[in-house]
Amino acid sequence: MLVLKIGGNEIDDPAFVKKLGKTVAAMPEAPVLVHGGGKEIRQLQERLGLEPQYIDGLRVTDAESLSLVKMVLAGRVNKRLTAVLFDAGLDAFGMSGVDRASIKAKKMIHPNGDLGFVGEITDVRAEVFKGLLDDNVAPVLSPICYGPGGDIFNVNADHVAVAIAVALQADELVFISNIPGVMVDKKVQLKLTAKEVNELIEKGIIHSGMIPKVRSALHAIESGVATVRITNLDGLKKGSGTKLKAEG
């Protein structure tokens, strides 16, 4: 079973989305797709005169921002991906973690400030996703999650993808970004261990947005996911990219 995390940098590009649909539809079994959409959220905030706020790289989601986040993630992006997959011949079901309370979360507490409606995952109803996959239907999941008392939380899409992969005991989790893998001296690293990843972070070779991605990948490995790979859309098709593996 395969879980795909689709990054938000290119999912507003019609050519990328169409190619994604064809690539995923050609797979022998329906995967779970988890998507972000931070780029489009930021653009909409700026268009409406709302300045994005961050604490240690985490997006602050107040009540007004949450409305925009739900609009973009559970609406615009989710339905775009669902439609293109169906058009490519794959039965797909667009949903969020709120639907059937499939992903439960609680408020994330941060020592350096209030993140608002940013959540951390407490539970995954694996049977919801297994039921769809058993019918060869691809769940297309936005990271809007169900909270206690009916609250709704915005959760980091990488964290959602890891939680789904762990709950479903996935054979592979693939993070699809806009680069072919973890690069060292302009070359894709085929395999990396946790020790090697930490050394590359200390040297500044792995930096910026790649740091949380590789850490999420390592967390998935430590939690029992068989294989985690970081690649781009071409790498997904070819089976290439950077594989993260356990020590030894």
Domains of the chain from N-terminus onward: 2-170 (3.40.1160.10), 180-248 (no CATH)
Task: Supply the pLDDT for residue 124.
Answer: 98
Report d(CA 74, CA 161) in Å as an integer: 16
Amino acid at 163: A
127-160 in b/e burial notation, b at 16+ Cβ within 10 A? ebbeebbeeeebbbbbbbbbbeeeebbbbbbbbb
Q: For the chain (length 248 residues), average pLDDT per consecutive 10?
A: 91 94 95 94 90 82 93 96 97 98 97 95 98 97 96 95 96 93 92 90 86 89 91 94 81
Amino acid at 197: V
Residue whose tokens read 């068989």: 226
Task: Supply the pLDDT for residue 247.
Answer: 66
